[in-house]
Amino acid sequence: MKKISVAGIKENMLIAPDIYRMELELSEDINALPGQFVNVYLDDGAHLLPRPISICRAEDNRLTLVYRAVGVGTKIMAGLTEGDTLRVSDPLGNGFTLPESGTVLLVGGGVGVPPMLGTAIAAKAKGLNVIAAHGYRSELFLKEEFERVGQLLIATDDGSAGYHGTVVELLRSSDIPADTTVLSCGPKPMLKALVQYCEEKGLPVQVSLEERMGCGFGACVGCVCKLNQNGNIVQKRVCKDGPVFNGSEVIF
Amino acid sequence: MTKVDLSVNFAGLQMKNPVTTASGTFAARESGEFYDISRLGAVITKGVAAEPWQGNPTPRIAETYGGMLNAVGLQNPGAEEYIKKELGYLKDFDVPVIANLAGHSIEEYCAVTEMLNDTDVAMYELNISCPNVKLGGIGFGTDPKMAAEVTEAVKKVSRKPLIVKLTPNVTDITAIAKAVESAGADAVSLINTLLGMRIDLRSKRPLLANGTGGFSGPAVKPVAIRMVYQVRRAISLPILGLGGIMTGEDAAEFLMAGADAVAVGTAALVDPTAPVDVVEGLKAFMEREGYENIAALKAAFKG
Ligand SMILES: Cc1cc2nc3c(=O)[nH]c(=O)nc-3n(C[C@H](O)[C@H](O)[C@H](O)COP(=O)(O)OP(=O)(O)OC[C@H]3O[C@@H](n4cnc5c(N)ncnc54)[C@H](O)[C@@H]3O)c2cc1C
Ligand SMILES: Cc1cc2nc3c(=O)[nH]c(=O)nc-3n(C[C@H](O)[C@H](O)[C@H](O)COP(=O)(O)O)c2cc1C
Ligand code: FES
């Protein structure tokens, strides 16, 4: 059975403006696929809905989440410290499908960067060639972690580091091998531009989507997105059928 | 410690306990990944219509203090798919299924009823109250005459007991309850969601793409309790009480107010195991307080 567990907070650190890295310890080992997420429950009696947060890393019974404090829930999370507890669900959703061989290009934008780290580590363990290309507003995070796994390309909105512009513009001026599979998580405009780029280059692309969720486990049909599957328009649940979809099918 | 019998007979349906799932907050496969659904008194499935419905655009969900708004818009795959997928899956569980029916017109309500007559469904729950669908729902549930008309028409074609689900978005819910009672309903359920709205101060637009949505969750419980209490005094049909139930004590409150069974909705979205937790919580409460059965708990009310 799937379950919600009480996790102990081992560390909750500010790693860039408004960006926190939270290390959680669970009582059992976590079996997560790259690109899956967990529901975080605030348990304050007022803010009831689960906050979906991507799994940045899962190793044994340790879970790493990297999140931006944007609203009431993530600000409550930011206020927690070592020794506090937090209820989290088992890993949810489908996750990325890694190719059998060749190169994976991992494209992250903002808080879409964190899930690409676990994905990069899994891809490297599978013997794939790993390139990461990340777009940040300004300040970088998880840079060293990615550099340990593969090649890292960086774009910033304000030009404070790496390429000055969007990550898709950066890709257009880079050499991407022909055997590349693109896996991505980030804001919709970035994903849309990326899918267009991949279609031009003939590269397969998987994208991880966001939507407002009621349950986060497939029961309420609150979180649907629209796909075009061979001319048929179908609605899929981001939390259960996704969050990862074939980029060329997504109707943005 | 008192030995407790949780079983109830609800409008002819024998239930091992009075707890079921609120329509739209339960999906057999997905909810069943978190608990054994055979432990529930019954399950009420998501609203189903004769033909598939697309539902509303997203965002469909918004959080509110102590609750939520939803404007799913009754997205459903249609009766044929529902029979295959949802009922097909539920066959293997020892739990009665109550099908929640949706329609834009009397003809559509009757069509879905007839399509489900030959299935294992134990009972129907007629959703005449969903506030989301611009074309239909709201009209039927808010007018006593129309509520009676649709009840009578569905009752005529139905070969299963019929619960009529009432909307709280009315001035006097007892008038609607009386109307559906005289039209032949076998039971009523209440409350459906309260019509609500939130605005995003940054975008200066409604948080829901649909503008308004149905308000549910613990914040609505006092409204639901009051309405169950009023309807209990107005009609003699069995009542399925719901609206904001989070715990066994919440369920006990509904039973005292006049409900004969209860349903858990939003709580099951924010905590997937909530329905079975409510069963256990109710049992523990009754053991502690010395109620041997549901009838004894209901009879203890002094209001
Ligand atoms: C599959 C998935 C994975 C995600 N992974 C991450 C991650 O790794 N790191 C990270 O920083 N953020 C991530 N997000 C976004 C994160 O869920 C929201 O930032 C968070 O829910 C905001 O909650 P809040 O209470 O701070 O904001 P509020 O605006 O106060 O939240 C109000 C409601 O809206 C919902 N909501 C608000 N923004 C979003 C959003 N962008 N997406 C979905 N629901 C939202 C909240 O869950 C809550 O129900 C992810 C979203 C999804 C769908
Ligand atoms: C996401 C969602 C979907 C719903 N869908 C339906 C539905 O299809 N049919 C129906 O009769 N009621 C539907 N409802 C209403 C619930 O069944 C219930 O009446 C209401 O939410 C109040 O109970 P609660 O506070 O326990 O959730 C829905 C509620 C929610 C939150
Ligand atoms: S959030 Fe409920 S189905 Fe996805």
Q: CB–CB of B224/B269 below 8 Å? A: no
**CATH code at A190?**
3.40.50.80
- Assess if residue B1 is contained within a domain: no
Q: Check B63 against A45: CB less than 8 A apart.
A: no
Are A145 and A159 part of one and the same domain? yes
Chain B contact probe: residue of A42, A43, A49, A90 with most B CBs at under 10 A: A49
- The chain A residue lying nearest B269, using CA atoms, is A215
**CATH code at B225?**
3.20.20.70
- Assess if residue A94 is contained within a domain: no
Cβ neighbours of B202 (radius 10 Å): 6
Work out the average pLDDT over A197-222: 96
Are A232 and A189 part of one and the same domain? no
Q: CB–CB of B275/B251 below 8 Å? A: no
Name the strand (E) or helix (H) holding B206. Answer: strand B205-206
- Assess if residue A24 is contained within a domain: yes
Q: What is the model's pLDDT at position B138?
A: 60
- The rounded distance, in Å, linking the Cα atoms of A158 and A72 is 27
CA of A74 to the centre of ligand 1 (A): 8
The Cα-based distances of A18 to A53, A63, A79 in angstroms read: 15, 20, 12
- Assess if residue B2 is contained within a domain: no
Range of the domain at A52: 4-89
Partnered with residue A58 across adjacent β-strands are A63
- Assess if residue B53 is contained within a domain: yes
Mean pLDDT of chain A: 95
Tell me, using a 6 A CB cutoff, whether residue B70 lines ligand 2.
yes
Residue B92 three-state SS: coil
Cβ contacts of B29 on chain A, cutoff 8 Å: 218
Nearest CA to ligand 1 atom 17: A52
Are A191 and A115 part of one and the same domain? yes
Are A126 and A156 part of one and the same domain? yes
What is the per-residue pLDDT across A103-154, written as a single tens digit (0 to 9) for each?
A: 999 999 999 999 999 999 999 999 999 999 999 998 899 989 999 998 999 9
Work out the average pLDDT over A77-96: 97
Are A197 and A125 part of one and the same domain? yes
What is the per-residue pLDDT across A27-54, written as a single tens digit (0 to 9) for each?
A: 999 999 999 999 999 999 999 999 999 9
Are A11 and A84 part of one and the same domain? yes
% of chain A residues with pLDDT over 90: 95
- Supply B222's token pair: 């006092």
- The rounded distance, in Å, linking the Cα atoms of A169 and A163 is 9
- The rounded distance, in Å, linking the Cα atoms of B226 and B220 is 10
Q: How many domains is chain B built from? A: 1
CA of A15 to the centre of ligand 1 (A): 19
Cβ contacts of B59 on chain A, cutoff 8 Å: 211-212
- Assess if residue B14 is contained within a domain: yes
- Assess if residue B235 is contained within a domain: yes
- The chain A residue lying nearest B67, using CA atoms, is A48
Closest among A42, A44, A46, A56 to A86, alpha carbons compared: A42
Are A158 and A132 part of one and the same domain? yes
Q: What is the model's pLDDT at position B303?
A: 84
Please list the pLDDT of chain B residue by residue as tens digits (303 residues): 789 999 999 999 999 999 999 999 999 999 999 999 999 999 999 999 999 999 999 999 999 999 999 999 999 999 999 999 999 999 999 999 999 999 988 999 999 999 999 999 999 999 997 444 544 446 789 999 999 999 999 999 999 999 999 999 999 999 999 999 999 999 999 999 999 999 999 999 999 999 999 999 999 999 999 999 999 999 999 999 999 999 999 999 999 999 999 999 999 999 999 999 999 999 999 999 999 999 999 999 998
Name the strand (E) or helix (H) holding B213. Answer: strand B212-216
Q: How many domains is chain A built from? A: 3
- The rounded distance, in Å, linking the Cα atoms of A117 and B10 is 53
Q: What are phi and psi of B12, to 5 degrees?
A: 95, -10
What contacts A178, CB < 8 A, 6 or more positions away?
A: none
- Assess if residue A199 is contained within a domain: yes
3-state SS string for chain A? CCCEEEEEEEEEEEEECCEEEEEEECCCCCCCCCCCEEEEECCCCCCCCCEEEECCEEECCEEEEEEECCCHHHHHHHCCCCCCEEEEECCECCCCCCCCCCEEEEEEEHHHCHHHHHHHHHHHHCCCEEEEEEEECCCCCCHHHHHCCCEEEEEECCCCCCEECCHHHHHHCCCCCCCEEEEEECCHHHHHHHHHHHHHHCCCEEEECCCCCCCCCCCCCCCEEEEEECCEEEEEECCCCCCEEECCCECC
Closest among B53, B41, B47 to B86, alpha carbons compared: B47
- Assess if residue B294 is contained within a domain: yes
Are A149 and A116 part of one and the same domain? yes
- Assess if residue B87 is contained within a domain: yes
Q: CB–CB of B108/B49 below 8 Å? A: yes
Widest distance between CA atoms in chain B? 56
Catalytic positions of B, please?
130
Minimal CA separation from A190 to chain B, in Å: 19
| Full-model pTM | 0.96
Q: CB–CB of B104/B111 below 8 Å? A: no
Are A189 and A114 part of one and the same domain? yes
Are A192 and A104 part of one and the same domain? yes
- Assess if residue B3 is contained within a domain: no
- The rounded distance, in Å, linking the Cα atoms of B119 and B239 is 24
Q: What is the DSSP letter of B166?
A: P
Q: What is the model's pLDDT at position B134?
A: 44
Given B34, B54, B72, which is nearest A3 (Cβ)?
Answer: B34
User: ω before B191 within 30° of 0 (cis)?
Assistant: yes
Q: Is some CB atom of chain B closer than 8 A to the CB atom of A46?
A: yes
Radius of gyration over alpha carbons of chain B, in Å? Answer: 18
Work out the average pLDDT over A170-197: 95
> How many cross-chain Cβ pairs, A to B, lie less than 8 Å apart?
95
Minimal CA separation from A238 to chain B, in Å: 11
Range of the domain at B188: 8-299
- The rounded distance, in Å, linking the Cα atoms of B197 and B68 is 10
